Amino acid sequence: MFDGILLGQYVSGNSFLYILNPVNKILFCFTFMVLIVCCQSIFWTVNLGFIVLLLFFSAKLPFLAVLKGMKTILFFLIITFIMHIFFTSQGQVIFQYSKIIITLEGLLNALLIFFRIFFIIMINSILTLTTQPTEIAWGFQKLLYPFKIFKFPVDEFALMLSLALRFIPVLFQELGKIIDAQKSRGAEFDSPSFIKKILSFPPILIPMFINSFFRAEEIAMAMEARCYSNSQNRTHFTKIHTGFEDLFFVIFYTFITLVYLYLYYFKSYDLSVF
């Protein structure tokens, strides 16, 4: 019933990807994701993917962790792969056995989709394996700053985001305690009946909501007592540094993006099959 408190995929390490600024990493992921999604040929998808793999293994990241993360989508990936191979009827036939026909087009399509999803997951993993959730939140906060023009309360939102991140582990503990307390009173949570299962939730939810919202009031009082206000620029306890590595990394992926765009759109080599 309870999936445990494993949140995020962060694996500690000390390679260059760990030193980079989170904003930089988010922008890199975004750029590469757009490139791979827009790419319609297997040849260029694999080329881009090769660069991603190079980054991944040069940073000594654990490949096994990616496979674990892929567990939920693996089933989907295999089904689409098989569907595309066996149910595409147009194009050049390369294999035929009674009613099973495999066409070149079907095979290429299946491979393209497989590579696309696989490399996008690899790109996501580069971000989530090397960056702690709080750092990703910090990155998001920096990326939201342009929205200040539309009077979006960026500072308040950033504070709420970091508060929520801090609360998650505490709430997990509290949830565990409430579940144990209710179990000791004889509550049953693993009933196979849908209605009974739902009716077992309010004894967990009600204490949790009431406790947490009491706490909100208390923390607000504590913050007010410490003169919290949003009129000044807020500083951070830990500073995230931006160094030469970031500059090199930006130059690296901008260069690759430009070269790719030049080769793919302006010098369209006749590699359309692949």
Binding mask 8-27 for other proteins (x = CB under 8 A): xx------------------
Residue with tokens 């990493």: 25
**CB of 68 or CB of 269, closer to other proteins:** 68
Cβ pair 130, 141 in contact under 8 A: no
**CB of 18 or CB of 119, closer to other proteins:** 119
Output the smallest distance, CB 50 to other proteins, in A.
20
Cβ pair 67, 51 in contact under 8 A: no
Q: Which of 67, 221, 263, 271 binds other proteins (CB under 8 A)?
A: 221
Dist. CA 38–CA 200, nearest whole Å: 47
Please work out, in degrees rounded to the nearest 5, the angle formed at the alpha carbon of residue 51 by the alpha carbons of 47 and 53.
Answer: 110
Which of 1, 4, 40, 15 is closest to 265 using CA atoms? 40
| Under rule CB under 8 A, residue 240 binds other proteins | no
Question: Looking only at residues 147 through 176 of this chain, which bind other proteins when binding is defined by CB under 8 A?
Answer: 156-157, 159-161, 163-165, 167-168, 171-172, 175
Question: Looking only at residues 32 through 51 of this chain, which bind other proteins when binding is defined by CB under 8 A?
Answer: 33-34, 37
| Under rule CB under 8 A, residue 210 binds other proteins | yes
Please work out, in degrees rounded to the nearest 5, the angle formed at the alpha carbon of residue 150 by the alpha carbons of 149 and 153.
Answer: 90
| Under rule CB under 8 A, residue 124 binds other proteins | yes
**CB of 24 or CB of 245, closer to other proteins:** 24
The helix/strand/coil state of 103 is strand
